[in-house]
Structure 1
Amino acid sequence: MEFRIERNALVEAVVWASRSLPARSPVPVLGGLMLDAGRGRLRISGFDYEASASIEVPAQTPSVGKVLATGRRLLDICRVLPDAPVECGSEGTRFTLEGGGARFGLSILPREEYPALPELPAPCGTVDAAQFADAVARVAIAAGRDDSLPVLTRIQLRLEDGALTLAASDRYRYAVRTVPWKPWAAGSEAVEVVVPGRRLAEISKSLAKTGAVRIGLSSPGGPDGPGGGLIAFEGDGMRTTLRLLEGRLPRYGKLFALERPAVAVTQREALAEAVRRVAVVAEQNCPVRLDFSARGTLILQAGYGDDVASQQVTATLDGADDLAAAFNPGYLLEALNSFDAPHVRFELLGPGQRALLSAAPDADADADADGAAREDHRHLLMSVRQLS
C-alpha cells in the first residue's frame, strides 16, 4: 500500500479520526487507526466500541490497500511533519511516512483483529453546522466534568419538527438551547437521546465549518434506541457515531416554571465585567452577592473581612422592592457568557432558590428586519442560601 498526500490534509484527517481513540484500552488494536488507500482517496478511521470516526480525503494512490497504524504515535508524527507533500507506505511490519527530508517509521498492528466499524444510521434530518456547534458549546458548560458521576456529563438532544433542543445539567445549573432543525420526514415524532457531552462538543466543533450536519439515528425509540442504538453525524466527508446512553435528564419544564418570581433586567456585558472585577477578592467557591433594588441599581459584593470589593451597575427590578441572591462567580460568568443578547433577564425567587436567566429584548433596538425570534437560550442557576 502506497499513497501521496498533502501534509495539512493528512494532519486534519488523522486529528479527526483520532477523536475516537480511547484514552486507555485493554485491547491494543483499539488504539489503532485504519488507513484505507483506494483509488484517488484515503480513508482514515478509528473505533473504540463507544464511538467511531472516519474521514475521506483525496490522495494519490499508486498501490491500494489497508494498514492499521498505532494511533497516538501517528498523530504525534503528523504534527511534526515538515510542510511538504508526504509519501506513505507499508514495508513488511512497518508503516513509513516521508516528506520534506524527514522520515518516520512505526509498527503495524494486526489488522485482522480490528473490529468492523458500525454501519451509519440513515440520516433523519439536517442542522446548520455553525449553529449546532455554537449551541453545543453554550450548553456543554452546564454538563458535569466529574467522570465518577457519568450521568451528569451528558448532553440530551430532542429532535422534533423544526427544532433541535440541547440540554445539560450538573445539578447546580441547567442549560437549554434550541436551534432550527430540518427533518427529512414531515410530521415525524419527537425523539430524545442522551450522548456523552465531551465527545459531542469535540464533534460539533470539528464539523462547524461544513455548512450542514446530517444527523442519523438507529431505531429511535425501539429496542436499538437509547441505551443500545447509535447517533451519527456527517458533514464534508467526515462521519462519526456515538453510542446512545441510557437515562435522561430531569424534565426542565417544571424546573424553569418559577412561581411569581421577581424579574430583573441588566446589561449583560456590564454585569459580567463587574462579576470578574469583584470576584478577585473572593476565595475559591465563595459566592458573589447581588443586591437588586427597585430604585434601578444592582450592587455586587464579594469577599470577607478586610478583603472585600463592590460595584454598582444599573438594573431594573419588578415584583419586589429589594431582593438579594448570591451565586458561584464562575458559574454566573459562564451563564452570562453563554448569551449573545445585550441584556439579560433574571427571574428570581430569593436566596438558596432557583434563578432563571434568559435573553431580554433590547428596548433601544427595533426588531430584526427578518423577524427573527430572540435568542432561544435559557440557563438555570441555583443561588447560594447563605448570604453574608
Structure 2
Amino acid sequence: MKFHVNRDVLAEAVAWTARILPSRPTIPVLAGILLDATGEELTMSAFDYEVSARATIEAGVNEPGRALLPGRVLAEITKSLPDRPVEIVADGSEAVLTCGSTEFGLHTMPVEDFPALPQMPPKIGAVGGGVFASAVAQVAPSASRDDTLPMLTGIRMDIEGPNVTMAATDRYRIAARDFLWRPETGDFSAAAMVSARVMVDVARTLRAGEVSISLGDGVAGFESVGRRTTVRLLDEQFIDYRSRLTGDWAIRASVQTAPLVDAIRRVALVAERNTAVRLSFTQGQVLIQAGGGDIGRGAEVIDAELDGDDIQIAFQPQFLLDGLSGLESERVRIGMDSPTRPALITDDADDPSFRYLVMSLRLA
C-alpha cells in the first residue's frame, strides 16, 4: 500500500475515526484504525462491536492495499505533522509515514483479525445537519448516565411520515423535540432507541450539510459528507412521554429566556451541592433565590408575566438550566400546577417544538 494525501484532511479524518476507539479494547486489533487505499480514495475504519466509524477522503493512491495501524498513536502523529503532504507506505509489518523531513515507522497489526464492519442499513430519510444537531443537543442532557438502566441512556426516535420526535428521560426530567425531515417514503413509520452518547457524538461531527439516517436489523446508521457511523440499537421499551408533556396548567409564566438563564447562573453560585434554586412568581416579576447555608445567599428579580396565582417553586439548578438552555426562542413559557408537581418548560410558540418537563424540589 502506498498513497499520498493532504495533511489537514488526513489529520481531521483520523481524529474523527479515532474518537470511537475503546480505551480498554477486549482484543488488541480493536485499538487499530483500518486504512484501505483504492482508486482515488482512502477509507479509515474503526469498530468496537457496538459502534463503527468510517471516513473516506481523496488520496493519490500509487499502490492499493490495506493496513491496520494503532489508532490513537496515528491520531496524535497526524495532528502534529508539519503543513506538508503526507505519504504512507505499508509493506509487511511496518508502515512508514513521511511528511517533509519527518518520518515515523509504525508497526502494523494483523488485518485479517480485524472484525468486519456492519453493513449500512437501508436509508429511511434525511434531515439538515443543523436541525439534527439542535434536536440532539436539546434532548440529550435529559438522558441518564446510569448504564444499569440502558433504556434511560438512549434517545428515543419516533418517526411518522415527515414528522420526527426525539425524546429522553432520566426519571427526573423529560425532554422532547419535534422536527420535520424528508423520509424516503411518505408513509414510513418507525421507533428506535439510540445511545445518547453516540447521538451527541454524531451530531457534533456530522452537522455540516445533510444527515442521512438508516435503520434496520437492530442497527442505526448516520452519514454525511463522506463519514458514516453505525450503532446497535437499544431495547425499544420506553415511557409514554407524550401523555406527560400534554395537559392544562393552572399557572403559566412567560419570561425572557436569556435574562432568566443569566440570573439563575448567578444566584446558583452560592447554592450548595444538591440544593435548590427557588423561583417566586408574582404579578409582573419573578424572584430567583439560592443559598442561605454556610456559603451565603443570592437573589435577583427580573420581569415576568403571570397568568394564575402567585407561586414559589424550586428546582435543581442544572436541571433547570438544561431545559432553558435548550430553547431557541426569546421567551420561555413555564407551566405549573403547584410547588410539589413538575413544571413544563416550552418555547413561546402556540405549538411548541421543544418541551421539557422537570421535577420540582420540596421547599425547606
Q: Shorter-chain TM-score category? A: over 0.9
SS at match of 1:87: strand
Report what 2:57 is aligned to.
57
Work out the CA distance in 1 between the residues paired with 2:230 and 2:219.
6
Deviates more, 1:138-147 or 1:352-361: 138-147
Report what 1:302 is aligned to.
290
Work out the CA distance in 2 between the residues paired with 1:30 and 1:281.
46
Question: Any residues of structure 2 matched to 1:306-345 within 5 Å, and which?
Answer: 307-320=296-309, 322-345=310-333
SS at match of 1:13: helix
Report what 1:357 is aligned to.
345
Report how far residue 37 of structure 1 moved: 0.5
Q: Is the 8 A contact 1:156 1:248 kept in 2?
A: no
Report what 1:171 is aligned to.
171
Q: Is the 8 A contact 1:268 1:344 kept in 2?
A: yes
Q: Is the 8 A contact 2:191 2:236 kept in 1?
A: no
* 1:227-259 deviations in Å (ceiling 9; x for gaps): xx1111111111111111114331112211345
Work out the CA distance in 2 between the residues paired with 1:153 and 1:83.
41
SS at match of 1:44: strand
When the two chains are superposed, the root-mean-square deviation of aligned CA atoms in Å is 1.6
Work out the CA distance in 1 between the residues paired with 2:335 and 2:202.
33
Report what 1:217 is aligned to.
215
* 1:76-105 deviations in Å (ceiling 9; x for gaps): 111211121111111321112110321112
Report what 1:364 is aligned to.
none
* 1:288-322 deviations in Å (ceiling 9; x for gaps): 100111x21211111115721111111122132x1
Report what 1:123 is aligned to.
123
Alignment CA distance shift 1:23-1:160 (3 Å): farther
Work out the CA distance in 1 between the residues paired with 2:164 and 2:96.
44
Instruction: Answer yes or no: is 1:28 the counterpart of 2:28.
Output: yes
In the superposition, the TM-score normalised over structure 1's length comes to: 0.90
Report how far residue 374 of structure 1 moved: 6.5
Question: Any residues of structure 2 matched to 1:1-388 within 5 Å, and which?
Answer: 1-188=1-188, 190-209=189-208, 211-218=209-216, 224=217, 229-293=218-282, 295-305=283-293, 307-320=296-309, 322-361=310-349, 376-385=353-362, 387-388=363-364
Work out the CA distance in 1 between the residues paired with 2:280 and 2:343.
14
Work out the CA distance in 2 between the residues paired with 1:148 and 1:80.
39
Report how far residue 148 of structure 1 moved: 4.5
The residue type equivalent to 2:47 in the other structure is F
Q: Is the 8 A contact 1:53 1:238 kept in 2?
A: yes
The residue type equivalent to 1:61 in the other structure is V
Work out the CA distance in 2 between the residues paired with 1:281 and 1:270.
18
Gaps of 5+ in 1: 219-223, 362-372
Work out the CA distance in 1 between the residues paired with 2:14 and 2:352.
36
Q: Is the 8 A contact 2:156 2:194 kept in 1?
A: yes
Deviates more, 1:276-285 or 1:150-159: 150-159
Across the two proteins, how many residue pairs are aligned to each other?
363
* 1:46-69 deviations in Å (ceiling 9; x for gaps): 111111111111101111100011
Work out the CA distance in 2 between the residues paired with 1:150 and 1:18.
24
Alignment CA distance shift 1:48-1:275 (3 Å): same
Work out the CA distance in 1 between the residues paired with 2:333 and 2:24.
44
The residue type equivalent to 2:292 in the other structure is Y
* 1:258-307 deviations in Å (ceiling 9; x for gaps): 454311111111111111111111111211100111x2121111111572
Work out the CA distance in 2 between the residues paired with 1:180 and 1:323.
36
Work out the CA distance in 2 between the residues paired with 1:179 and 1:258.
21
Q: Is the 8 A contact 1:154 1:194 kept in 2?
A: yes
